[in-house]
DNA sequence: AAGAACTTTTTAAATATTTAATAAAAGTAT
DNA sequence: ATACTTTTATTAAATATTTAAAAAGTTCTT
């Protein structure tokens, strides 16, 4: 199934695409999207321009219906500043989050407000491209139902697991095809598409909206079925030569260990990921070691999931607790490597497994003490992400915005 | 022994210090120092200004005797461009390289030419500050003998091993004192002092003058008595929160391994550094395993050094070869960690141990194949540094220049 | 309630920088 | 050798941006 490509209506109102030759205005729109309504002075800190210049740019943006005046801010004894914000309908961004077992779609307006309800499609990602068409159709339906004007959509950002090169639009792990997967989406949607690895989009979300905001050197661990790492250095997301930086889950940790799906043995992911937890839980149940787990999963081994193990641990199940402690130990040892290499100020734990906090944080801390030079281990904090389930989709939407507005 | 602090003579000729309020001119001087004589157009690529503007800045610099016209460059069918370069005596930079067992001092002019002969002081670095005064005296003598005008010295850059925080001027490993070591030097010299860790200064030298020039994502390994790592990400040297990033030598590699001087067991440095080579060579000789080493060191175990082991290996000494192969294996495993985390385009091996290339490179490559995801291991090259023994001192001099000219 | 103090916005003048046009110098083709 | 093309340098005009001063709008103080 394909969709016709929509050309921009040349007689329509001014839209954000026409700003392509004005870097300063695009920068203002970007900051108003990311950080909400601001005063002239606040904007000056980002765009490094004088007050008269910014005002004149804002006035132009106002006449183009891209920016609105939103009343006045507070003052500590002086004239109150005007507040400026993006017009809701200045533009829209579509964010798609492809997970292993489900895909969700959200549309954001220029105020970074979600304009759609939770839209979830149950689909299992695979090596091939079979899930592309259902995702395109699902997304097009949402755009149509919500009456989002196509010519105001800046583009579509898609986060997904796997080894993603956002420059070439290729995922080496999933949705592999002769043509780059981003290009396939781009043709089907008839608009700009940007793909990125999920651990990186979440790190980016932390940088813009979360605990890493305003920080320079942060590591964001994404604990899900696999183990991902987003690296923030000098205040920017680091991608590496091909976009594959952060393969933390495949650090070799155990000599002659379990075979990993990457082909090597004893990767961190084989002993400290969601997948590893499920494996250990199954092994334990077969050996009769767990008292609560069998009930919680109704004796169906396929129901095993991180959440169930955490639930059993919370109920006091010794075996589940020991699984999580073990996972924490290995994660901590892995983090010790990262801390010594990066000397970060902050490590953020996010993803499904961060629900197991109370069980994995203490062994993580302990392993760091064992394996880290004290000057480095102590200079750093570990925090659990405060961004909710929308983190990935928010992150990839913001990345798309930068991708579109920053270029040239 | 102390030296009087010299105040800048307010009636002297214009000097570079007076450029503090002209960022553009400082940027031009910096580029002419780092990359030599250039045309107007070449400079435009760096400083992002129009031709008329650059010409006017260059003319100002010429009247201030900081820049000279150096004839004309070549053209492919048009008017020949003028070449501009720094005046030799526009400014000077002093570089000091403190190694474990010796310290060397060089003075560079504004053309990045060394204006001193090799000046080496045999001193062993220690936890205390006892070597500071001899170094200051030695350096002051050189400045005096070579008649370097003090008011034209931009400052003194000092590279040293250890955990160095260049922001605060503290070394946590050597020359520890209540007052930051950089501050002590600054007071004694009466001029700007900048200190940095040796692995980082060498990585910086590679970035500006060596194999990493123009590259974005490079790791520079410094193999000496210890193992250092300089990280270049997004085309910039990465230092981490406190400047301690790159503690590669203290990654835990062997469970319950040999005690490291950092207090932990089984660090990479205990099995793959110059110190480790010396230890293994001694052990082997005590056990009678080496046939050539004893002759080469004249039966004095204290003479053991990387170079001797390499020499024995070159002569065919089996035991020495096996030591180096072992070192290569562990280094390769360590590099596999780094490759998966950074997805670098290039790894540069430098330092004393890179003389052992032919013996350590093959096992390094092999270990990378074993421990790395192929997409990452294959996308990257390993090269041996082509910068000579001056690398560190050139790097720290260039860092001082940036430190002084970039600020504000 | 009036004025002082403070902050932001507006305006106008001053400055900085670029663009575009022209001139100059060199190489290439006829 | 002369004309043409290419590249760089110079100049002048146009544009962009900032600075500084004035005006406007709030809060605080008395």
A40 contact to strand C (CB, 7 A limit):
yes
Percent share of chain B, pLDDT over 70 = 95
Q: Under 8 Å CB-to-CB from A169, ≥6 apart: which residues? A: A180, A181, A182, A183, A186, A193, A195
Q: Can you give the pLDDT at residue B20?
A: 55
Rounded mean pLDDT, A201-225: 97
The position carrying tokens 């157009």 is: B41
Asked whether the predicted pLDDT for residue A261 surpasses 80, the reply is yes
Nearest Cβ partner of A340 from B238, B251, B379?
Answer: B251
Backbone angles phi, psi at B17, to 5 degrees: -65, -30
Check A247 against B371: CB less than 8 A apart: no
Q: Can you give the pLDDT at residue B353?
A: 83
Asked whether the predicted pLDDT for residue B293 surpasses 90, the reply is no
The tokens for A275 are 């997948």
pLDDT per position as a tens digit, A263-280: 899 999 999 999 999 999
Total residues found in chain B within this entry: 408
Q: Which residue is nearest to nucleotide D6 (CA to C1')?
A: B78
The tokens for B77 are 């069918």
D18 C1' – B65 CA distance, angstroms? Answer: 30
Rounded mean pLDDT, A204-220: 98
- As a whole number, the mean pLDDT across chain B is 92
Nearest Cβ partner of A345 from B241, B246, B370?
Answer: B241
Rounded mean pLDDT, B326-352: 97
Q: Which residue has the higher pLDDT, A287 or A35?
A: A35
Kind of pairing between the strands at A381-384 and A346-350? parallel
Task: Tell me if A22 sits within 8 A of A11, measured CB to CB.
Answer: no
Q: Can you give the pLDDT at residue B336?
A: 97
D19 C1' – B400 CA distance, angstroms? Answer: 34
Q: How far is CA A307 from CA A100, A296, A297, A314, A353, in A?
A: 16, 10, 11, 10, 8
Nearest Cβ partner of B247 from A241, A243, A376?
Answer: A376
CA distance A275 to A283: 12
Nearest partner of B169 among B205, B207, B150, B197, judged by Cα: B197
pLDDT per position as a tens digit, A322-338: 999 999 999 999 999 99
Nucleotide showing the shortest C1' distance to residue B76 CA: C27
Q: Can you give the pLDDT at residue A2?
A: 39
Percent share of chain A, pLDDT over 90 = 82
Task: Tell me if B51 sits within 8 A of B41, measured CB to CB.
Answer: yes
A45 contact to strand C (CB, 7 A limit):
no
Rounded mean pLDDT, A376-398: 95
The tokens for B56 are 């006017």
Neighbours of B389 (CB within 10 A): 10
Asked whether the predicted pLDDT for residue B38 surpasses 90, the reply is yes
The position carrying tokens 């002297």 is: B12
Q: Can you give the pLDDT at residue A16?
A: 59
Asked whether the predicted pLDDT for residue A300 surpasses 90, the reply is no
A159-173, A190-204, B207-221, B271-285: range with lowest mean pLDDT:
B271-285
Asked whether the predicted pLDDT for residue B12 surpasses 50, the reply is no
Q: Under 8 Å CB-to-CB from A119, ≥6 apart: which residues? A: A104, A105, A106, A138, A142
How far is the alpha carbon of B334 from chain A, nearest alpha carbon, in Å?
10
SS3 string of chain A? CCCCCCCCCCCCCCCHHHHHHCHHHHHHHHHHHHHCCEEHHHHHHHHCCCHHHHHHHHHHHHHCCCEEEEEECCCCCCCCCEEEEECHHHCEEEEEEECCCEEEEEEEECCCCECCCCEEEECCCCCCCCCHHHHHHHHHHHHHHCCCCHHHEEEEEEEECCCEECCCCEECCCCCCCCCHHHHHHHHHCCCEEEEEHHHHHHHHHHHHCCCCCCCCEEEEEECCCEEEEEEECCEEECCCCCCCCCHHHCECCCCCCECCCCCECECHHHHCHHHHHHHHHHHHHCCCCCCHHHHCCCCHHHCCHHHHHHHHHCCCHHHHHHHHHHHHHHHHHHHHHHHHHCCCEEEEECHHHHHHHHHHHHHHHHHHHHCCHHHHHCCEEEECCCCCCHHHHHHHHHHHHHHHHCC
Nucleotides of D under 7 A from a protein CB: 5-12, 17-20, 23-28
Rounded mean pLDDT, A379-391: 94
Nearest partner of B405 among B39, B163, B90, judged by Cα: B90
Q: Under 8 Å CB-to-CB from A61, ≥6 apart: which residues? A: A25, A28, A29, A67
Residue B382 per-residue DSSP state: E
Task: Tell me if A90 sits within 8 A of A25, measured CB to CB.
Answer: no
Q: Can you give the pLDDT at residue B6?
A: 39
The tokens for B274 are 């110059």
D9 C1' – B75 CA distance, angstroms? Answer: 14
Q: Can you give the pLDDT at residue B10?
A: 33
Q: Can you give the pLDDT at residue A1?
A: 40
Q: Which residue is nearest to nucleotide C18 (CA to C1')?
A: B50
Task: Tell me if B335 sits within 8 A of B367, measured CB to CB.
Answer: yes
Integer-rounded Cα Rg, in Å, for chain A is 23
Asked whether the predicted pLDDT for residue B11 surpasses 50, the reply is no
How far is the alpha carbon of B316 from chain A, nearest alpha carbon, in Å?
31
Nearest Cβ partner of A244 from B229, B240, B343?
Answer: B343
pLDDT per position as a tens digit, A179-193: 999 999 999 999 999
Nucleotide showing the shortest C1' distance to residue B53 CA: C17
CA distance B307 to B329: 19
CA distance B326 to A258: 25
pLDDT per position as a tens digit, A143-178: 999 999 999 999 999 999 999 999 999 999 999 999
How far is the alpha carbon of A326 from chain B, nearest alpha carbon, in Å?
16
Rounded mean pLDDT, A110-132: 95
User: Which chain B residues are Cβ-neighbours of A240 within 8 angstroms?
Assistant: 217, 342-344
The tokens for B335 are 């590099």
Neighbours of A316 (CB within 10 A): 10
pLDDT band for position B13 (cuts 50, 70, 90): very low
The position carrying tokens 């070597």 is: B131
Asked whether the predicted pLDDT for residue B244 surpasses 80, the reply is yes
Asked whether the predicted pLDDT for residue B313 surpasses 90, the reply is yes
Q: Can you give the pLDDT at residue B8?
A: 36
pLDDT band for position B7 (cuts 50, 70, 90): very low
The tokens for B226 are 């210890």
Q: At what angle do helices B51-63 and B23-35 cross, to 10 degrees?
A: 80
Q: Which residue has the higher pLDDT, B111 or A20?
A: B111
Q: For chain A, which residues lie within 8 Å of any Cβ of chain B, measuring from their own Cβ?
A: 163, 172, 216-217, 229, 231, 233-234, 236, 238-248, 250-252, 262, 264, 333, 336-338, 340-345, 370-371, 373, 375-376, 379-380
Task: Tell me if B331 sits within 8 A of B272, measured CB to CB.
Answer: yes
Rounded mean pLDDT, B332-351: 97
Check A344 against B240: CB less than 8 A apart: yes
Rounded mean pLDDT, A213-238: 96
Q: At what angle do helices B357-371 and B318-342 cross, to 10 degrees?
A: 40
In the three-class reduction of DSSP (H, G, I as helix; E, B as strand; rest coil), residue B172 is classed as coil
Nearest partner of A108 among A193, A34, A173, A190, judged by Cα: A34
Neighbours of A366 (CB within 10 A): 14
How far is the alpha carbon of A395 from chain B, nearest alpha carbon, in Å?
20
- As a whole number, the mean pLDDT across chain A is 92
CA distance A356 to A347: 16
Check B340 against A248: CB less than 8 A apart: yes
Nearest Cβ partner of A373 from B247, B375, B376?
Answer: B247
CA distance A241 to A165: 9
């Amino acid at each position: 199934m394909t969709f016709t490509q929509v050309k921009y209506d040349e007689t329509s109102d001014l839209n954000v695409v026409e700003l392509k030759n004005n870097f300063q205005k695009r920068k203002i729109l970007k900051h108003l999207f990311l950080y909400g309504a601001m005063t002239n002075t606040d904007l000056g800190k980002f765009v490094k321009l004088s007050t008269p210049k910014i005002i004149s740019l804002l006035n132009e943006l106002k006449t183009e219906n891209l920016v609105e005046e939103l009343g006045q801010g507070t003052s500590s004894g002086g004239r109150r500043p005007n507040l400026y914000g993006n017009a809701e309908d200045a533009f829209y961004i579509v964010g798609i989050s492809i997970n292993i077992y489900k895909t969700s779609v959200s549309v954001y307006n220029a105020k970074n407000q979600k304009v759609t309800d939770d839209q979830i499609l149950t689909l299992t990602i695979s090596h091939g491209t079979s899930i592309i068409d259902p995702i395109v159709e699902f997304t097009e339906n949402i755009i149509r139902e919500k009456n989002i004007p196509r010519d105001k959509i800046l583009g579509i950002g898609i986060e997904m697991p796997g080894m993603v090169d956002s420059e070439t639009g290729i995922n080496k792990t999933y949705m592999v095809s002769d043509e780059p997967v981003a290009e396939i989406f781009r043709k089907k949607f008839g608009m700009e598409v940007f793909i990125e690895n999920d651990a990186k989009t979440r790190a980016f979300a932390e940088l813009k909206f979360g605990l890493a905001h305003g920080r320079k050197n942060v590591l964001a661990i994404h604990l899900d079925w696999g183990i991902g790492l987003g690296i923030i250095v000098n205040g920017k997301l680091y991608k590496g030569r091909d976009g594959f930086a952060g393969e933390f889950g495949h650090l070799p940790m155990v000599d002659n260990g379990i075979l990993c799906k990457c082909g090597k043995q004893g990767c961190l992911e084989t002993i400290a990921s969601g997948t590893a937890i499920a494996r250990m839980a199954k092994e334990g149940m077969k050996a009769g070691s767990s008292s609560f787990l069998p009930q919680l999963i109704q004796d169906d081994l396929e129901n095993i999931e991180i959440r169930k193990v955490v639930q059993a641990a919370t109920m006091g199940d010794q075996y589940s607790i020991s699984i999580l402690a073990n996972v924490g130990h290995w994660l901590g040892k892995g983090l010790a490597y990262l801390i010594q290499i990066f000397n970060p100020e902050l490590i953020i734990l996010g993803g499904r497994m961060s629900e197991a906090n109370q069980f994995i944080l203490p062994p993580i801390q302990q392993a760091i003490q064992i394996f880290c030079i004290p000057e480095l281990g102590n200079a750093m904090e570990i925090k659990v992400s405060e961004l909710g389930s929308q983190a990935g989709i928010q992150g990839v939407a913001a990345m798309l915005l930068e991708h579109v507005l920053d270029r040239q």
